[in-house]
Amino acid sequence: MNDVTHEAPRLDDWLPPPAPARVTLEGRLCRLEPLAVRHATALHEVNSLDVEGRMWEYMAYGPFDGLAAYRAWVEQKAASIDPLFFAIIDRARDAPVGVASYLRIDPPNGVIEVGHLAYSPRLQRSPAATEAMYLMMRHAFEVGYRRYEWKCNARNAPSRSAAERLGFTFEGVFRQHMVVKGRSRDTAWYSVIDGEWPRARVGFERWLDAGNFDAAGRQRRTLAECRSDPGDQS
């Protein structure tokens, strides 16, 4: 019999976290509110700015055939516990500009995923988009989750690039993992774990600081540069 030279880490002091609650997550640029039917009209309007429907290309649903269909989808998802949906509110406009959710919520193992990211053109590639992901990640780790996951279609290059930019570690591809809109999907898996969160948190906060942007709103340092800075990581 082989000798066991490395035992799995014990978790004597760890307690399973609660399921995420319907709370509002406040940021400088955006806030996340539990998704509600009152958000549907404004979300449909900003989603309609994507006239080619590219934001839905890798989603399991959408684009929607008009406001009524989208409102029905929002009404259904607003009542869901897992996934737990949020509307992303642009604080400057005080208006919703996107949707995100927690899903595959697994408190006994301390695992939670972020997904269902439907970013309208008004949110895409904006600092608020990054802040929304920071707020959700921060909340998950603060309530006690150990592992925070990001999964996407392996062919979705923008999503994979976003995961890497946000500090997720690539773990591999699950081949023929799903069937989505009649097509076979290979799924790329990414994660951040609790031991990595302190460094990631400092990087996010440095990048999101107002002083990191010039008068035209251009970043002075990239998120990767802010995360790799050797300064205080406490």
Q: What ranges do the domains of the chain cover?
A: 25-228
Strand-by-strand arrangement of the 25-26 sheet:
25-26, 30-34, 84-90, 95-106, 111-119, 147-153, 183-193, 169-180
| 25-228: CATH architecture | 3-Layer(aba) Sandwich (3.40)
What pTM was estimated for this model as a whole? Answer: 0.93
CB distance 88 to 99 below 8 Å: yes
pLDDT of the chain along its 234 residues, tens only? 555 567 888 988 889 999 999 999 999 999 999 999 999 999 999 999 999 999 999 999 999 999 999 999 999 999 999 999 999 999 999 999 999 999 999 999 999 999 999 999 999 999 999 999 999 999 999 999 999 999 999 999 999 999 999 999 999 999 999 999 999 999 999 999 999 999 999 999 999 999 999 999 999 999 999 998 766 554
Q: Which two tokens stand for residue 169?
A: 């570690």
Q: How far apart are CA 21 and CA 144, in angstroms?
A: 13
